[in-house]
Every structure is written in structure tokens, then in C-alpha cells.
Structure 1
Amino acid sequence: MHATLRTFASLKSAAAVRREVLASLVVFLVALPLCVGVAVASGVPAELGLITGIVGGLVVGALPGSSLQVSGPAAGLTVLVYEAVQQFGLGALGALVLAAGLVQLALGALGFGRWFRAISVAVVQGMLTGIGLVLLLGQLYTMAGRKAPGSGPAKIAGLPGLLSAVATDRAALTAFAVGAGTIAVLVLWKRLPAKVRVVPAPLAAVALATAVTVAAGLDVAHVEVQGLADAVRPPGLDDLGALGSVAALGTVLAFALIASAESLFSAAAVDRMHDGPRTDYDKELMAQGVGNTVCGALGALPMTAVIVRSSANVQAGARTSLSRILHGLWLLLFAVLLPAAIGVIPLAALAGVLVHAGCKLVPVKELGPLWREHRGEAVVLGVTAVAIVATNMFEGVVLGLLLAVVKTAWETSHAHVATRELTGGRLVVTVTGNATFLRLPKILETLESLPKDKPIELDLTGLRHLDHACRTALENWAERHHDAGTEPVLLRPMAEKAGIPA
């Protein structure tokens, strides 16, 4: 409330208010087709996407954190939501989202918001790439009016059959043409004159596809509409009780962590677009938690801050949070006053919008430079993306995080082994750097190649770090390496460097 009052107080002129209103209309026009499209792709009623967009504007928009980024249903969670609905049912979705919101609130209150910035960028890019590929593969089937297979590998295996259906079935070809035309408008829109581009590309593409299907009388599937009030599904006691299963808790954590990471990465990107107040990450995380708690109570989709809508907000000239609050109001008025307008939208057109969004999530132009300059990061990105396609979102991200940790540990555990021979034949072996179990095979290989009939001094005082596995292995080697009658290996442990007895 205080943040909202400060927002209104900062609007000192009619021109400032007009600027915020115009920006809110731009964001509304961008958000409308995306809210509906994400909901349909998630396997839930279209109105649930609008409810999440409304909450993102009216509730989250009025809370402190980031003043310019806009929240709503995101393509990045489409795959996870679809899997959750298939596994637990539509009724349980609200309970899962509500619990995820409470987790976000707790993380924000405990000051974890800033730590999300420590997540490997390669994992985040891999997550978005994997989401983009799954979204692309799934929506290609929707574009042809076909039901998509359940798993990523099955979607890939079914592509030849899908192409055959499009080539031989007139209904599939018609629907696919509508989707392809929508994608063409999205791709070519940025090349049109600036006066035309005042209308956001997603809205123009969907509107044109809808107009063509109506004018030509094309027999294609449309969005099913049931009304905003009928779409609200507060979770019941049975739905809340289902949260006790391990699978449900895993889904809750996946919702919370992925939505939080996407929101806070979006906040960092939005901060680079403007010169206004910087994001308070903990407050923004709590704002997202409040939003998801409300969405869960209404049985709607989970929300994140969305970079597409946020960048449109900044580029439209917004300076305060009033624009994002008003965009939620416009969504509410549209859903209440013009619900029938949703029912004329072809599903293939929305699928085309999401295929285009999925393609944009794959950083094709960045992959080449990343492979040449940071090959390890490219491997993490690729493995995360492939794992998401092959398994699911949660397992893919966990695997990516583990791989990123292992990669970092490997890169930081540099241990160098140097050998020099003193007068009298004594060998001095010096180990420097960070000796961890990851480098242990190479270290032992070097040490075991040394002659056993010469006196050896193993100097570890140059090490910055020596883990337990390495210490134990090196001590065992020192005890057993020498031949009978040869001086035992003299071990100068790491502790002696600081004058501490080993």
C-alpha cells in the first residue's frame, strides 16, 4: 500500500499519468494473447491465464520490489504446469501454486532473494532452452490440430507422422497453415513501419489469424470459454491433503525455485533497461510469493515476472508501477466485459505464438561464441536442455545445477606436482594449488611413477587447500611407497606452512 501511494505521489502532472496509461495499454495488448496461449498450452482453461495476469497486475504490481517489471503466466512454466495437471489433476493445481507462493514468501523473508543471482547463467540458459524445445515440439502438434505425445522423446519420434498428417489431411493442413501464418506475421512485424508496429506483434498476429479464419469460414478448433467466475477453482481440503506426497512436494519446490529464478533474472535484465530505482530482490521475491499465494487460492496458473511484458513496459515509457497495475485492470475489464472475444481465437494461432516464443528461448546466436570461449558452460547448457527434453523440468534443472557445481569444483581444484632432485639423489616432490578428490587420480599417477629406491620428500606446504580424501591418499602413499631398506618418504604436511604441528 505504501509503495502504491508513493507511486501516485510521484505522478505530478497529467503528462506523467498519460504516459503511464499509454504504457499500460501496450503491456495489456502484449499480455492478452500470451495469458490465453500459456493457459491453453498448459492444459487448463484460458481464463486461468487471464486470472494470473490480473493478479500479476493488480496485486504484485502494487507491491514493492521491482517497479517496472510485469508479472503473469509465463511460457517458462508451461511444461511443468502441464505435467502437474496431468499427474495431480486440475483441482490440485491451486494447492500446488499456493504452497509454492508460501515457499517464495519464506525465502524472501529469510533474505534468499539475492542468492538466486548466484545460480549459474549456463543452467538458466539451459533451462530456457529446454523449455523452448519442449514448447516448440508440443505446440507443433497443436498447430496441426493433433494431440501431442506425453514425453519429449515421443514428441521427437512422432514428428515424421505429424508431417505426414499435415501433408495428407486437409483439416490438419488448414490448421497448420493458420499457425504458420501467425508465425510469419510475428517474424515480419518488426520490419514494418514504426506507425504499424504501435500494435504489439502477438496481438496483431492473433487478430489477423482470427479475422482470416472467420472471413474464410475455416473449420479449425477455437479456444473454449467458460467465463471468469466459473474458472475460479479454490483448492479444497482433498487438494491440500495431496501436498503430503513426495511427488507433490517436488512439484511445489520446482514451481517455487524456477519461478523465483526466472523472476529475479528478469529483474536484473529490466534494471539494465532503465535508470530508475533498482530492484530489491528480497522484496520482489516476497511480492512474487504473495502473487502466487493469491493465484493458488483462486486455482489459477503460477506466475513469474516476464521479460517480454517487462521490456514492453519499459520501452513504452513507463516510469512507475502504475502502468503494470493498470494493465491488470484492463485484463480484468476485458475478461468480464468481452469473454466471448476469447472464444473466436483459433488454437492454431495461439500455438503459433508459442512456437515463436519457444524458438526465441533457444539462444542460437550465442551457442557458437559460447562453445569457442567457454566450452564448459556450453556443455552445462546443452546437458540441462537435453535432460529437460528427455525427462522433465525439475530433473533437468537439478542435473544442470549438479553439473555446474562439479564443473566449478573441477576448474578451481588445480593441483601442480613438481619434482626436483637434490645432491645425493634425494627427490623433492612439491604439490601446490588446490588438492581435491577430483585431481587425486592425476596426483597419484605422478607419485606412483617415482622410483621406490630413492629417498623422497613430499612437500605439501604450498597447497592452498587439501581435502580429506587427498590427505588420506597421500599419507597412505607415503607410508607404502619406499622399498625395504630405503628411507621412508618424508612428508611435510600443509599445516607446517603456518607453523602448526601436523
Structure 2
Amino acid sequence: MLTALKDPAVLRQDVLASFVVFLVAVPLCVGVAVASGVPAELGLITGIVGGLLVGALPGSTLQVSGPAAGLTVLVYEAVRTYGPGMLGPLVLAAGLVQVALGLLRLGRWFRAISVAVVQGMLAGIGLVIVLGQLYAMADAEAPATGPERIAGLPGLAGDLVTGGVSPAAFAVGAATVAVLVLWHRLPPAVRKVPGPLAAVALATAVTCLADLPVARVEVRGLVHAVRPPDAEALAGLLTPGAIGTVLAFALIASAETLFGAAAVDRMHSGPRTDYDKELIAQGTGNTVCGALGALPMTAVVVRSAANVQAGARTSLSRVLHGLWLLLFATLLPAAVGAVPLAALAGVLVHAGTKLVPFGEVLPLWRDHRGEAVVLGVTAVAVVVTNLFEGVLLGLLLAVVKTAWDTSHLHIEVRQGSAAPSGGLVVRVAGNATFLRLPRLLEALEALPHDRPVELDLSGLRHLDHACRHALENWASRHDATATSPVRFDGPGRRGDEERGEP
């Protein structure tokens, strides 16, 4: 930041980049807040804190923080379950957890999370956002759960035809999506204006000029929207459900931030992100947002990419974008009140579809089928259950897949060179774990009982307790019926030495 203040050229680039990020952030801050079921101002407050506070803290130089679509589902569920008054305490506690994780230098461990699980989580979030915002585009209330929203889509389509919901609102939302989809095909001079801002501005202008009967954003002002936690709300954090929500906020926001940091670092050649410091910065920001009763924050790739592409050189662009948000929310609140809800829903439908990696699923299925299964199961679980349970299921499946992949076991049965009379050598190599136990036992139980058998286990890199126990039991049963006992080469049965067996 000091570099920008000393160098006029760098200062100019940062100021211009800050305006671009500000224009991208306004519709997203408002849209995420409305989709989360809280006042629009709370999204702006989180964006302001993300700029003025987190932007000035060390960690990442060009990454921009604010309310993110990735947390919309979790916030909506928390507000619906615990009430709006509990949002502040939940976010505050999550921020403190993030600070503690950063101080313990655990930031780098978030990079160990399976990419398939993260992609599945984001895909599931994207699908939930799309399913919910399709109803918002028609000024209709969305059902509570993912399966109910899917089941209600035919009814929503019927209501659009019969006029049971607002066709005008849906037309505004659909037009907003169309503008966003086609925006990248327009001339570069036009695309200097951020697509979300242009789409929302056009929708607002058309709605006002045509006086369309659509719902608009309700605005009360920043001061009225701030809800500091009281003692009763803070006491509610002691319930098991609230603790689980706090951990979900902290872990998912941290993972999304640090994965985003890795992506943003690839976009520029400046200083790399210090993951632990970035985690502390995000936690500090969320602690302040919680104290104000605002939305949780995370680093947002869309805003960060806009910052890099606009030529930002230092963290000053992040701080200034927060200042512009503050001035906008203070001086022009009526501008927010003119925005149709359907337009914001359209922005989020477009953002939600971008979270689903449509182009990566088929290549992933061809090359890494197990990873594709983890991604798909995680996404479906997020839609069918909730975000926290879906991610836990994805992580569990990823661990099982990794255990299966690493437990390669090669079994080879051949005629023993030292036993021309018909003796068999069974060579077992690799990792003998309980996951491969059925295959191992099938191969051993298929051996004839009238021929000597030698088990060559010297090629095993790992033999777990379950497989060792199974080998001992099989050898005992085989010895009881065979004409000669089983001979072990390598890590064989316990007690072989005591029995005098080779």
C-alpha cells in the first residue's frame, strides 16, 4: 500500500482498479444478502468491512473479501433455524475460530482438502442457489429444502403460464441472466463496465420506466440494519446445533478463501499469499462483521479476478473499494431501493451456474472416475440434505476412496521352483488392508488342499491387523485338512518361531 502512495503510476492503477471492484461488488453484496434472507444493507456492511479492514491487513495482496454466494445457503439455513438475531453471534464466533486457526498456523492444512470435495461443495451450493433463485425471479417464495424446490419447479412453470406468480418479474430476471451470458461477446469498450452492474442497472431502468409491478429491495439504512449481539443471543452459542453451525461457517469460509487465494496467486506475479496471516485477517473481519450483526465474509474470486484484471498493484485497491461502498451505502441508499429483486435473483442464478463445473465433469469421469464420483455425491448430498452434512459425506467418501486407491494388492499363484512335485507359491505384494481382504481370502480358499503351499509375503509394504488375523485363521484351517502345513516367507503368523516352523 505504501508503494502506491509513493508512486503516482501505481496509485492511479490502484484507484482505477478499486472503482472496477466496487462496481462488481455492489450488486453481489446486495444480491447475496437478499438471497440469505437478511436486509440488503448487511451485505454492504460486510463488503465495507472486507475492504476497509481486511484489505489493510497482511495475508493476500490482491484478494478481495466480502459476502460470497458460497455461504448463502448456510446463512439462509442459520437464519431460518435460529432467527436473524443469532446471525451476529454465529459469525463472530466463526471469526474467532478462524483467528485461532491462523495463530496455530493451520492455514496450510486447508490445502489438503480433496479438490473433488471442494468442487462438489461449490457445485451443490450453486445448484441450491439456482433452485432457490428461480422462485425469487418470479417473486415467489421458495420451498425450504432442495428436494421440495425440485419437486415444485413444474408448479412454478404452471403458475407462470396461468399468472399465479409474476410473469413480469420472471421476465426481468430472465433478461438479467441473458445480459450476463451475452456480456462477454460484446465489444471490449462496452465490457469495461462490469457485467453484473450493467445487467442490474438495465433491469432497474426498464422496471422504473415501464413501472412494472415487481418487488424491489427494501432499504432502511446502514444504522438501522446494524444489530450487535446481545447477551441472550451470545448464550445461544452454547447449544450443539449452534456450535456445529459456527464450525461450518469457519471451515467452509476458510477453505473457500484459501482455495481462492491459490487461484488468485496464479493470476499475478506479485507477492504470494501467506495462508496463516490471511486466515487471521479473514477471522478478524468476520469477528467485526459478527459484532455488527452482518453477513459472514470470505475472499471472493469474482471480485479478486476483477481486481487483478483491472491492473491493481497493491492492497490499496481493496481498501478504496471498501471506501466507495461506504460512501455509496451512506449517500445513495435510494439507488438500492430501486433495484428489482428479480434482477438480483438473475445475477445469483448466473453466479450459481458458474459454481457448477459442467465442463470438467466428463474429462474427470474419463481420467479419474473415483474423483468424479466424490464430486457428484458431494453435490447431490448438499442439495438433498444441507451444506454441512453434504461436505462431511464428501470428505468421508474421499477418505474411503484414498484408502481404497492406496491399498493395491497383487496376488500371484505359481508352481514352486523348489517343489517340482506340485508345491505352490502364493506371492502377495502391495498393501494388505481390510479393504482388500475379500479378494485375498477368495484367492487363498481356492487353493487345493492336497498340495504344499508357501505364502511369500516378502513383497508386502503393509500388513494390517485384519489381514494378518485372516491369514493366521486361513493357515490354521488349511493345516487341519491339508497333507502339509503352510510355509510363510516374510511377515507370517505370530508364534511361528515358538512352534519351530520355518
Calculate the TM-score normalised by the size of structure 1: 0.96
Over residues 281-325 of structure 1, what are the superposed CA-to-partner deviations in whole Å (9 max), with x where a residue is unaligned? 111111111111111111111100000000000000001000000
Identity of aligned residues (%): 73
Which amino acid counterpart does residue 290 of structure 1 have in structure 2? T
Contact preservation (8 Å) 1:461, 1:495 = no
In the TM superposition, residue 256 of structure 1 has moved relative to its aligned partner by: 0.7
- Of 222, 230, 235 in structure 2, the residue corresponding to residue 228 of structure 1 is 222
- Relative distance call for 1:385 and 1:484 in structure 2 (3 A) is closer
Task: Give the Cα separation in 1 of the matches to 2:458 and 2:363.
Answer: 40
- Relative distance call for 1:170 and 1:241 in structure 2 (3 A) is closer
Task: Give the Cα separation in 2 of the matches to 1:116 and 1:160.
Answer: 40
- Relative distance call for 1:409 and 1:22 in structure 2 (3 A) is same
The answer for the alignment partner of 1:39 in structure 2 is 33
In the TM superposition, residue 495 of structure 1 has moved relative to its aligned partner by: 7.7
The answer for the alignment partner of 1:293 in structure 2 is 287
The answer for the alignment partner of 1:482 in structure 2 is 479
Task: Give the Cα separation in 1 of the matches to 2:97 and 2:125.
Answer: 23
The answer for the alignment partner of 1:159 in structure 2 is 153
Over residues 343-389 of structure 1, what are the superposed CA-to-partner deviations in whole Å (9 max), with x where a residue is unaligned? 11000000000000011111111111111111111111100000000
Task: Give the Cα separation in 2 of the matches to 1:476 and 1:372.
Answer: 40
Q: Does 1:259 align with 2:253?
A: yes
Q: Does 1:215 align with 2:212?
A: no
Over residues 110-131 of structure 1, what are the superposed CA-to-partner deviations in whole Å (9 max), with x where a residue is unaligned? 1111111111111111011100
Task: Give the Cα separation in 2 of the matches to 1:476 and 1:231.
Answer: 69
The answer for the alignment partner of 1:439 in structure 2 is 436
The answer for the alignment partner of 1:427 in structure 2 is 424
Task: Give the Cα separation in 1 of the matches to 2:208 and 2:466.
Answer: 71
The answer for the alignment partner of 2:179 in structure 1 is 185
Task: Give the Cα separation in 1 of the matches to 2:482 and 2:47.
Answer: 81
- Within 5 Å, give how 1:54-203 maps onto structure 2: 54-169=48-163, 172-203=166-197
Task: Give the Cα separation in 1 of the matches to 2:461 and 2:278.
Answer: 39
Contact preservation (8 Å) 1:453, 1:482 = no
Task: Give the Cα separation in 1 of the matches to 2:378 and 2:247.
Answer: 18
Contact preservation (8 Å) 2:432, 2:464 = yes
In the TM superposition, residue 241 of structure 1 has moved relative to its aligned partner by: 1.0
Task: Give the Cα separation in 1 of the matches to 2:492 and 2:194.
Answer: 65
Task: Give the Cα separation in 1 of the matches to 2:320 and 2:411.
Answer: 65
Which amino acid counterpart does residue 298 of structure 1 have in structure 2? L
- Of 353, 358, 373 in structure 1, the residue corresponding to residue 352 of structure 2 is 358
Contact preservation (8 Å) 2:177, 2:346 = yes
- Relative distance call for 1:382 and 1:484 in structure 2 (3 A) is closer
Aligned length: 493
Give the 3-state SS of the residue equivalent to 1:428 in structure 2.
strand
- Structure 1 stretch displaced more, 469-478 or 432-441: 469-478
Task: Give the Cα separation in 2 of the matches to 1:71 and 1:13.
Answer: 25
In the TM superposition, residue 276 of structure 1 has moved relative to its aligned partner by: 0.2
Q: Does 1:387 align with 2:381?
A: yes
Task: Give the Cα separation in 2 of the matches to 1:454 and 1:66.
Answer: 68
- Structure 1 stretch displaced more, 202-211 or 111-120: 111-120
In the TM superposition, residue 492 of structure 1 has moved relative to its aligned partner by: 3.1
Which amino acid counterpart does residue 288 of structure 2 have in structure 1? V
Q: Does 1:459 align with 2:456?
A: yes
Structure 2, unpaired ranges of 5+: none
The answer for the alignment partner of 1:239 in structure 2 is 233
- Of 264, 281, 286 in structure 1, the residue corresponding to residue 275 of structure 2 is 281
Task: Give the Cα separation in 2 of the matches to 1:23 and 1:117.
Answer: 29
Task: Give the Cα separation in 1 of the matches to 2:379 and 2:269.
Answer: 34
Give the 3-state SS of the residue equivalent to 1:432 in structure 2.
strand
Give the 3-state SS of the residue equivalent to 1:460 in structure 2.
strand
Give the 3-state SS of the residue equivalent to 1:431 in structure 2.
strand
Task: Give the Cα separation in 2 of the matches to 1:97 and 1:285.
Answer: 15
Task: Give the Cα separation in 2 of the matches to 1:97 and 1:145.
Answer: 29
Q: Does 1:22 align with 2:27?
A: no
Which amino acid counterpart does residue 202 of structure 1 have in structure 2? P
In the TM superposition, residue 341 of structure 1 has moved relative to its aligned partner by: 1.1
- Relative distance call for 1:309 and 1:120 in structure 2 (3 A) is same
In the TM superposition, residue 426 of structure 1 has moved relative to its aligned partner by: 2.0
Task: Give the Cα separation in 1 of the matches to 2:199 and 2:69.
Answer: 18
In the TM superposition, residue 394 of structure 1 has moved relative to its aligned partner by: 0.4
- Relative distance call for 1:352 and 1:485 in structure 2 (3 A) is closer
Contact preservation (8 Å) 1:104, 1:286 = yes
Over residues 446-491 of structure 1, what are the superposed CA-to-partner deviations in whole Å (9 max), with x where a residue is unaligned? 0011112222121212101111111111111111123446222223
Contact preservation (8 Å) 2:159, 2:165 = no
- Relative distance call for 1:189 and 1:170 in structure 2 (3 A) is farther
Task: Give the Cα separation in 2 of the matches to 1:277 and 1:119.
Answer: 24
Task: Give the Cα separation in 2 of the matches to 1:484 and 1:346.
Answer: 82
Over residues 216-266 of structure 1, what are the superposed CA-to-partner deviations in whole Å (9 max), with x where a residue is unaligned? 010110001111011111111111111111111111111111101100010
Which amino acid counterpart does residue 355 of structure 1 have in structure 2? V
- Within 5 Å, give how 1:334-413 maps onto structure 2: 334-413=328-407
Give the 3-state SS of the residue equivalent to 2:412 in structure 1.
strand
Task: Give the Cα separation in 2 of the matches to 1:276 and 1:486.
Answer: 74
Contact preservation (8 Å) 2:66, 2:298 = yes
Task: Give the Cα separation in 2 of the matches to 1:477 and 1:108.
Answer: 51
- Relative distance call for 1:176 and 1:115 in structure 2 (3 A) is same
Over residues 424-459 of structure 1, what are the superposed CA-to-partner deviations in whole Å (9 max), with x where a residue is unaligned? 322211110011111110011100111122221212
Which amino acid counterpart does residue 154 of structure 1 have in structure 2? E
Contact preservation (8 Å) 1:452, 1:483 = no
Which amino acid counterpart does residue 211 of structure 1 have in structure 2? A
Contact preservation (8 Å) 1:453, 1:483 = no
Task: Give the Cα separation in 2 of the matches to 1:141 and 1:434.
Answer: 52
Give the 3-state SS of the residue equivalent to 2:462 in structure 1.
strand
